Amino acid sequence: MEETIATSDKDWTTLLILSILLGGLGVDHFYTGKIGTGILKLITFGGCYIWALYDIIMVVTEKFVDSDGNVVMKQ
């Protein structure tokens, strides 16, 4: 039986670029609608960039989800 995965309408490439360049400021979370965690990343500078690095890994491996729980995948 095949399991269907709901995919996000957010662009994977845009999210990856935002995560790399502005992930420490939480811009990647704001882009995907995660306002609360975006503010936390902004205040903590991406958890001293550890959280930002974790998010980059999640985006590259296509496991990053948006605010609706949909996976952001390459199109």
What would the pLDDT profile of 12-21 be if each residue is shown by its tens digit? 999 999 999 9
pLDDT band (50, 70, 90) for residue 1 = low
Report yes or no on whether pTM surpasses 0.75. yes
| Host H or E run for residue 22 | helix 12-22
- The pLDDT tens digits of the residues spanning 4-49 come to 888 999 999 999 999 999 999 999 999 999 999 999 999 999 899 9
Q: Which domain holds residue 32?
A: 12-60
Picking from 75, 53, 74, 52, the residue whose alpha carbon sits closest to that of residue 62 is 74
Query: Is 3 inside any structural domain?
Result: no
Query: Is 70 inside any structural domain?
Result: no
**How many structural domains comprise the chain?**
1
Query: Is 49 inside any structural domain?
Result: yes
Angle between helices 12-22 and 50-60 (to 10 degrees): 160
Query: Is 42 inside any structural domain?
Result: yes
